[in-house]
Structure 1
């Protein structure tokens, strides 16, 4: 993060539950935006480290078997961009089912 200084870093398998953000690594200059595993089970979770100063907001998406998180990034002079990350949990979901679930989420993030 120090060397490349990305604006956003997508994360899968954050392993943080509700209220556990304080256990995630603190990266100076970044804020963690996190969605824990919905079942409250072990592992899972998705999120982003967002560079301070960026204008982002969490975007809702339809219920899905995928663990996913979407952000809307506002770029001055350009407009808004939806950026997402998704994780296919090891629950027996086939890759084609995961692609279908992701495809259903994309129209809701326009």
Structure 2
């Protein structure tokens, strides 16, 4: 399965948009309106966890499906999200990575920061 960078961005945005304090734990069900395939969501949450962008309290596997208790974005998660948050910036970055066939999270973040700097008149 190919990694879906749009889905990863949308998952991060959903985690950040929680306004409850203390934040309640999110699980797979909280993302079904973004993507209906629980296995695809699960894989991408796992990837975000691997990348150190989110923190999970626990994981469980039911019928081969991995579920998570997602507690928060990490500092690295906020930094990445801040770089890709703006839809105009994200669209330009996505167009470029689609053209070349993909990129690492670090490269995507670097590209987004560069585009964001241009947007702010800094570059």
After TM superposition, the score normalised by the length of structure 2 is 0.26
Please state which structure has a larger fraction of its residues in helix. Answer: 2
Please state which structure has a larger fraction of its residues in strand. Answer: 1
